Amino acid sequence: MTSDQIPFQWNLVTDLRTMWEFPFMRNAFEAGTMIAIVAGIIGYFVVLRRSSFAAHALGHAGFSGAAAAVLYAVNPVYGLLLFTTGGGALMGLLGRRAATRDVEIGTVLAFMLGLGLLFLSFYNGYASEAYSILFGEILGISVSGVVFTIEAGAVVLVALALVYRPLLFASLDEDVAEAKGLPILALGLIFMLLLGVAITIAVQIVGVLLIFALMVTPAAVAVRLTRRPWTGMLVSVAIALFATWVGLFVQFYAQYPASFFIVSIAFAIYVAVRGGQSLLRSFAPRANSTPPADPSAATNSG
């Protein structure tokens, strides 16, 4: 029996046990868990540093690397990694400050996309592996792909832990951090390289075009709900994990792309938080709108 012939039993324990009988689902959950953790943590810094455009651009630059890898019969993930880290290094070197790096990011992105078009024009076959990176193909990840994802994710997490304090300081206020003597350019370059590695592993689950779902949306919710960095990162990771796990579970029984469900869940959480906060703000003035007591009444009563 194949996975598309298995009915949903409405029994969570039974349904989970049935799903875990398939090796490709175990691979997807293992890789998806590491991807969600990395995306949730580094995505928090992406939001703090106002680098959402950089994450988006590096994802598209990575597609060009995948196209180059297909042209030379190499695993597309390695081409993706080369172009995301290379593009991140260029963006970090050309743009000293994260908040004013849009021009440099756009310039590097245009060059990388031009290279991708050139590589695809040289390829005579159907580059299905490269195109799958556009929308993600987490259910097709192999055991070696899971190992690569876990190892690359561990490298990103360890590196972030090593530069956590100065990177957080520079992300919150670059001017003050520079005045204190922190190496802003070096920190920005390190962050962009780590972002490139994180995007390389994240596109396996949501693809280049939907990278915002895991890299930005959970962190954007966390920034709205929390004030402390560690709490914010935990909330961001929790949302990314929830969207990934539920998305994979629903995909197994609904037989539609997992990336669609992951994106939809993350977006629904963001809209719910934004809507809830708007409602609270709209009711707050009414709660505090009780007119003060008339002082003359108190005087007359005395």
Q: Are 136 and 20 in contact (CB under 8 A)?
A: no
Please count the CA atoms within 13 angstroms of the CA of 67 that sit on its side-chain side: 22
Q: Is 279 contained in some domain?
A: yes
Q: Is 2 contained in some domain?
A: no
Instruction: Read off the pLDDT of residues 20-73 as tens digits, 9 standing for 90 and up.
Output: 888 888 888 998 899 899 999 999 999 988 888 888 788 888 878 888 887 787
Q: Under 8 Å CB-to-CB from 59, ≥6 apart: which residues?
A: 84, 199, 203, 208, 209, 211
Q: Is 302 contained in some domain?
A: no
**Mean pLDDT by groups of 10 residues along the chain of 302 residues:** 58 78 87 91 90 81 81 81 86 68 78 80 64 70 86 92 91 83 86 89 75 85 91 94 90 80 90 87 63 47 44
Name the residue range of residue 257's domain: 8-287
H or E stretch covering 161: helix 143-162
Q: Is 175 contained in some domain?
A: yes
Q: What is the torsional sign of CA 63, 68, 74, 79?
A: negative
Q: Is 296 contained in some domain?
A: no
Q: Does the global pTM surpass 0.85?
A: no
What is the pLDDT at residue 2?
47
Q: Is 3 contained in some domain?
A: no
Q: Is 1 contained in some domain?
A: no
Mean pLDDT over all residues of the chain? 80
When divided into structural domains, the chain yields a total of 1
Can you tell me the distance from the alpha carbon of 171 to that of 177, in angstroms, rounded to the nearest whole number? 9
Q: Is 171 contained in some domain?
A: yes
What is the pLDDT at residue 100?
59
